Structure 1
Amino acid sequence: MKRAALFFDIDGTLLSEVTHQIPESAVHALEEAKKKGHLIFVNTGRTICSIPEELKRLPVHGFLCGCGIYGEFEEEIFFEKHLDGKSADAIVKKAQECRVDALYEGKDDVYFSSRISRFDSLENTRKYMNNRGLGLERCIEQGGCAYDKLFAYEDEHSNSREFFDFLSDYLEILDRGNHTYECIMKGYSKATIMEVVLKKFGIGREDSYAFGDSSNDLAMFRYAGHGIAMGVHDPVLDPYAEYIAPAVEEEAIWQSMKHYGLIL
């Protein structure tokens, strides 16, 4: 079999949202695929600073982060793009005016407002990040916070249309459901960074495999030669999913890689 490039989402794909663990079978599958000479990348919406150390120990060749704006191979950065500071400060100001709360995600840290949010899920994210040493140095109101994407929360008290109309000049807006939105740099996606990788290593698109479960994996599925959806996945992936794996906890990664002959 020719060398292939494998691209894996984290949450709901490698990492179970039921057990909050990576199944041992998934780790073994990555090890086996690596031994066979395939290139293995984590392709995630998370920025590099928010990838836990335990995930960085996975047997992969590199990490592609921030929905296409950062790439590293064997700990060497080969691609990165950043939102300019003036635009970043303007977005924060507009979010405050429109009563939209957000997690602001950068390469080196994440940023929250100094005030407590009315959105419980955002406060839960704050606790999670703080426990990992992130989001503690500066609050977003201080200005000059280097971030490249944001995860926004809105409700009936928000002037959402005005905010998203303003934001669309800078970022692409992905509806993640339940009044939350992942806002990523325009012109970049999980697919654009895949294209960079394939060109860099001389691998054909037909030999690329995307493993995912959520709507922000859609670009990856549209681009990949083979799209593998986890057993529990957003239906938006269905038109582009070539194979539906079992649930993550039921050896989804191992079974799907075995199905394609990527491992024995």
Structure 2
Amino acid sequence: MGALFFDIDDTLLSGVTKKVPESALEGIRKVKENGHKVLINTGRTICSVPPIIKKLDVDGFLCGCGTYLIYKNEVLFESHISIEEGNRYIDLMKKYHIEGFLEGTDDMYFSERVSQCEPVESTRRYMASMGLGRETSMEKKNFEYDKLLIHINKKDPNCRYQEFFASIEDGIDIIDRLNGMYELVQKGYSKATAIEFMRQHLGLTKDEVYVFGDSSNDQSMFEYAKHSIAMKKHDPVLDPYTEYVTDTVENDGVYKAMQHYGLI
């Protein structure tokens, strides 16, 4: 038995068609028939996993970069930012003029004011389409959340992002997603820690682990795994840790990689 761990966006879910290719669905069905486990391993918190992904016949969802782990509909592990620390991060975002939003298990949290950063507003609209981010604003504070995503404009003199990073580094790991976007994750957690937890839970060796991804927040699991599969369109930061480059998600990349490794 092996276990396959999939990123969502531009790995299983096409950014072009907004669908999971039929070939990927067939591949998942076949690997499960062959006795392997299939798990989603995402930076998204569970509330923001797209419905099309939640409907997949998979064994588990590892969310929030290793902070919320579900297997067979049972929550095996969860870690949240404390209300005290969470309030401090919100205050620091305001102090240092940082644009972004907060990601929780149950909801997403945006500022009550309109952001000057279009990616933040486009994310707000996308989350609102799923019924998220509407009830509680960041400014209300006093709620738990799991991670942050920020966008910075280094040309903005009011955006003191270096001071912000220095103020949070004791409790937060910072992932550069490029183009001014940063994913801020509870220190010590990552997609790799999620896999290690599940590997031990399932009693697997590292040689039985296969990871699929395309972006910089997949780097930790690529460093961790022996069998790391990058989609054809991927962040070059993954190259040193990639064992195999497959085709794009739209051109049956997931299915082709499964064939390459003899999983189907």
Deviates more, 1:166-175 or 1:227-236: 166-175
- Alpha-carbon offset, residue 103 of structure 1: 1.4
Match of 1:81 in 2: 79
Structure 1 residues 1-264: aligned runs within 5 Å: 3-155=1-153, 156=156, 157-263=158-264
Question: How many residues align structurally?
Answer: 261
The one-letter amino acid of 2:75's match is I
Structure 2 contact 226–243 (Cα < 8 Å) conserved: no
Residue 145 of structure 1 and its aligned partner are, at CA, apart by: 2.5
Q: After the TM superposition, which parts of structure 1 deviate over 3 Å for at least 4 consecutive aligned residues?
A: none
Q: How far off its partner does 1:210 sit? A: 0.4
Structure 1 residue ranges without an equivalent (≥5): none
User: What one-letter code is carried by the residue in structure 2 that aligns with 1:166?
Assistant: S
**Is the Cα contact below 8 Å between 1:69 and 1:79 reproduced in 2?**
yes
Matched to 1:246, the amino acid is: D
TM-score between both structures, scaled by the size of structure 1: 0.97
Q: RMSD of aligned C-alpha atoms?
A: 0.8
SS at match of 1:68: coil
Alpha-carbon distance, 1:225 to partner: 2.0
Distance in 2 separating the partners of 1:59 and 1:46: 18
> What is the CA-CA distance between 1:232 and the residue it aligns to?
0.2
Residues 111 and 145 of structure 1 are in contact (CA less than 8 Å); yes or no, is this contact kept in structure 2?
no
Deviation at 1:148, TM superposition (A): 1.2
Q: TM-score scaled by structure 2?
A: 0.97
Cα pair 1:34 1:59 within 8 Å, conserved: no
Percent of aligned positions that are identical: 46
Contact 1:213 1:232 in 2 (8 A): yes
Within 1, Cα distance between the matches of 2:166 and 2:19?
38
For residues 139 and 145 of structure 1, the distance between their equivalents in structure 2, rounded to whole angstroms, comes to 10
Deviations 1:219-253 (A, max 9, x none): 00111120000000001111111110011100000
The answer (yes or no) to whether the contact 1:5–1:208 under 8 Å persists in 2 is yes
Q: CA deviation at 1:34?
A: 0.8
Structure 1: distance between partners of 2:203 and 2:226 = 15
